Structure 1
């Protein structure tokens, strides 16, 4: 009992005891704290300076983002430099604005990884060159919204970026709008179409279906060479077409089977190419006076297609018609489209008649176009 009582008395004494402030070695504690903070910082710094986790991951220290060149639903595209090279930087905020749900954010992350997985393996003169990407951008600084301010702002930590070569010629849609009245020389039409066809043929040879082929997703360099861009919805072609369903793409370019939610394959890109080929020739937009709903219904149920001008050479018109055939099996493969385009004779003109000129065969008019 005495032992037990002694133990209780000792515990009570400890509980009631105080440490005298004048007995604490504050200088020693400061030194210990500094050492601990330094050790923690070095550990964190070591983690942040580790090499890329994936072969496609970039060194953010080499990336300098300058100014925005385009904005979209889930992010923006900036111009910048990476290791001294001119680049375009696609930033996705992954729902950091608080409006996207966790499910939507997860889908965006998956889409990003899918885009990178597709893109970093590709190498072709008519496919935009992939530089790299980053999943973690806590150290990334972007220009502030104010164009007059030199200040920088931090990007949300869950954001990601894709870095690709910068093409100064803008996108194909902008180029066609610029030439809407003047139109393009036939040889230019065929050159641009061939670039697109060769790029798509390459993608299809790698079992990749782009799924959003449109003039906005085609970029031009200063020499008017075209390169396919934006693989945000691209995916490796499924062995079973039934595994590829869902309305993915842009209305006006979407194949009937995609609009109906039916199984589809790479031939949906061929259909979209046919619409783009018409756009390139006419320097115009298909179905300008119809709503999205009307276009969707008419393409599927009334076989609606853009009207081919009478001045269009029959060989080119036939390529358009074959590409946008309602039956995917009747559409040519893109490698055949390349051969058909290569066989076209552009020496006698045949381009779209500019607005204000009399109707007739363009070969009677003086050669024009860039």
Structure 2
């Protein structure tokens, strides 16, 4: 993906508070959604979901651009066979785009937008990859996200339900998280007063358990942040958005393209140095800081200034007092000195942490 496109998406993300936000707190969410969509079918989706509600007449005759997309897609898909298995090895995971009913947009990413929708009578989240952004690189990211997310089955990782793997309507379907992103809950919703310390501590444990599952599978998220942690109506937190994730093959990997969001990024990622799963530990430290203070990290500081300060000056956010501050400091140490998810979870489960901030 080009740096200009990434910057454009980043600015949109900061404007809309990213990834996934809560759109309704009504009890009857499914029936409310049906009314909201009022027969708006996914087949009427235009090249930009920003114009979702505008009906577009069907094109007649061959479309050269679509043909090129299909050729590129087929070439990429052939390169994403794992152990002689296709990208979607189970027929149940292949979803026809006409089966989807697309509703309100609830989030935006680097090259896709997320919608609340319906599939087979079930409320779901639909990640639609924008047609105008369907470069070969973005298609590879789409394949990468599916191959990783479909393998990670854990209560604290977003549940993959299937995908439409036919361009130009490349889409991915996951479970819908009613309360939206943790970022939205803390900084936008106006409900952060409902986040008691025990509830926040449970959220941190959820994220840590999900991250521990990923790391045991040799998966590095590379874009862990509060906007990529979703919350359901039972206040369970699940990690999402694996477009920038990678599977570890060596002791360390080199970052060939910029990845992550400046306020949460580990310095080694910013500097394009070799990285391990410990880059996610740094980001988790920022989330811990965020949930403790209930403030935006580096609020008011331009992203380019954050990048320079963290990567070149060793700057860090101000640490809270007590055992949590000590844990955060350890997460922000040099990569080889950062704790593992298992160590962090042990400390998050300790009585000391529960009692100190009671």
Q: What's the counterpart of residue 113 of structure 1? A: 143
Q: CA deviation at 1:291?
A: 1.6
**Structure 1 residue 84 and structure 2 residue 121: aligned?**
yes
Q: Deviations over 1:268-315 (max 9, x none)?
A: 000000001000111111111322222111112322111123xx4x11
- So what's the TM-score if we normalise by structure 1? 0.68
**Structure 1 residue 130 and structure 2 residue 167: aligned?**
no
Supply the distance in 2 between the matched residues of 1:251 and 1:329 (Cα, whole angstroms). Answer: 21
Q: Deviations over 1:34-76 (max 9, x none)?
A: xxxxxxxxxxxxxxxxxx9742322445432233223445332
Q: CA deviation at 1:245?
A: 4.3
RMSD value, Cα? 2.1
Task: Tell me, yes or no, if the aligned pair for 1:246 and 1:258 is still in contact at 8 Å.
Answer: no
Corresponding residue pairs, total:
269
Q: What's the counterpart of residue 180 of structure 2? A: 170
Q: Which runs of 5+ in 1 are unaligned?
A: 1-51, 137-156, 351-362, 364-370
Task: Tell me, yes or no, if the aligned pair for 1:94 and 1:109 is still in contact at 8 Å.
Answer: no
Supply the distance in 1 between the matched residues of 2:209 and 2:341 (Cα, whole angstroms). Answer: 7
Q: What's the counterpart of residue 75 of structure 1? A: 112
Equivalent residue for 2:212, pick from 201, 205, 225: 201
Is the helix fraction higher in 1 or 2? Answer: 2
Supply the distance in 2 between the matched residues of 1:181 and 1:82 (Cα, whole angstroms). Answer: 32
Task: Tell me, yes or no, if the aligned pair for 2:323 and 2:352 is still in contact at 8 Å.
Answer: no
Task: Tell me, yes or no, if the aligned pair for 1:184 and 1:283 is still in contact at 8 Å.
Answer: no
Equivalent residue for 1:320, pick from 304, 325, 328: 328
Q: CA deviation at 1:349?
A: 6.0
Q: What's the counterpart of residue 244 of structure 2? A: 233
- So what's the TM-score if we normalise by structure 2? 0.70
Supply the distance in 2 between the matched residues of 1:279 and 1:54 (Cα, whole angstroms). Answer: 39
Task: Tell me, yes or no, if the aligned pair for 1:315 and 1:344 is still in contact at 8 Å.
Answer: no
Q: Mark the CA change 1:245 to 1:74 in structure 2 (over 3 Å): closer, same or farther.
A: closer
Task: Tell me, yes or no, if the aligned pair for 1:124 and 1:202 is still in contact at 8 Å.
Answer: yes
- 1:237-248 pair list within 5 angstroms: 237-248=248-259
Question: Which has the larger Rg?
Answer: 1
Q: Mark the CA change 1:238 to 1:110 in structure 2 (over 3 Å): closer, same or farther.
A: same
Supply the distance in 1 between the matched residues of 2:194 and 2:331 (Cα, whole angstroms). Answer: 22
